[in-house]
Amino acid sequence: MSRLFTGALLSEAIAMFIIIAFGDSVAAMYSLYDPSPYQHAYWGVCIAWGLAVAIAIYTTGSISGCHANPAVTLALALYRKFPWKNVAPYCIAQTIGAFLGASVVYLLYSPVIDQFNLDHHLTRAAGGAAGVFFTHPAAIITPLHAFGDEIVLTAFLLFGIFAITEQYNEMAPGANFGALMIGFLVALIGASMGYLEAWAINPARDFGPRLFAFCTGWGTSAFPSPQSYWWVPVLGPLIGGALGGGAYQILIHPFLPARLRASAGAAAR
C-alpha cells in the first residue's frame, strides 16, 4: 500500500471521526437534557451537523477528496471515474472513523446517558438513549417507508454535491467555499426532512456508531434493532446516492455551457 493511499484512508477515517464526534454530541445535547437546549431550536442541530461536515472537508479534502460517506464514494466510482478498487477500502475506513467518533461521544456523555436512562426507567438493552448514536424512524414511519425516504434524501444530497463540485458549473461556489455549501446542504436536508428518520443519508454515519453501541450494552436494540431496521440507513443511501448522481449526470451535466464550449474547442483542435 502506497504512502499516498494510506494517507487517503486515514483522512477518510478522520473525516468521519470529526463528523460523528460533533454530530452525535449534538444528538446527545438534543435528546439527553431536559429541557433540551434545542427543544425549540432544531435548526441548531442541523447546522451543527452541517458544520461538522464542512470542517471534515476542510481538514481532509486535499488528501482524499473527503468523501466521508460510502454513498458518495459509490457515486463517484459510478460517474466520476473514482477507482473501483478503492471503493471498499474507503468505505471501511469511513466506518472505522465513525465507530471511533462514537467512542469519543460515549466517553464524554456516558454519565449523562446513564442518568437519562435512570430518570426515565430505561435500559440500554431496551434502546434507552440509543438516538445519541444511530437512527430510527419516527413512530408512524415504517422501515419500508424509511427506506424510500433515505433513497430520496440521499439523492438530493448527491445531486447537490455533484453540482457544487462540478468543474464546468460556472455557478458553483469558488475559493474553497464548496465545503461550506455542502455543509449547508446537509443542514437543509436535516431541517426539512430530518424528523422522518433522523436523516442518516450516510451508511457509515449510522453503521459505525450502531456497531459501537452494540458493543457497549445496547445489544439487539442496536443490531439488528427493532423491526431489523439496521439495513435501511445502509442500503437506502447507497441506492439514493447512485440515483442522485445519475440524475445530475443526465439532467444537468450534458447541458452546461462551459462543458459544451470545452467540447467544441476540443473538436476544433
For the segment 197-209, the average pLDDT, to the nearest whole number, is: 97
What confidence tens digit (pLDDT) does each residue in 31-58 have? 999 888 988 899 999 999 999 999 999 9
pLDDT-above-70 percentage for the chain: 100
What confidence tens digit (pLDDT) does each residue in 110-137 have? 999 999 999 999 999 999 999 999 999 9
pLDDT for 267 equals 77
Q: What does the alpha-carbon distance between residue 130 and residue 213 come to, in Å, rounded to a whole number?
A: 8
Q: In this structure, what C-alpha cell is assigned to residue 265?
A: 474547442
3-state helix, strand, coil in the chain (%, to 5): 75, 0, 25
Q: What does the alpha-carbon distance between residue 213 and residue 216 come to, in Å, rounded to a whole number?
A: 5
Domain boundaries, the chain: 3-268
Phi-psi sector, 134: left (phi>0), alpha (psi -120 to 50), beta: beta
What confidence tens digit (pLDDT) does each residue in 215-237 have? 999 999 999 999 999 999 999 99
pLDDT for 40 equals 85
Q: What does the alpha-carbon distance between residue 95 and residue 226 come to, in Å, rounded to a whole number?
A: 22
Q: In this structure, what C-alpha cell is assigned to residue 163?
A: 453540482
What confidence tens digit (pLDDT) does each residue in 145-177 have? 999 999 999 999 999 999 999 999 999 998 789
Residue 108 CB coordination number (10 Å): 14
Location of C-alpha cell 430505561: 122
What fold, for 3-268? Glycerol uptake facilitator protein (1.20.1080)
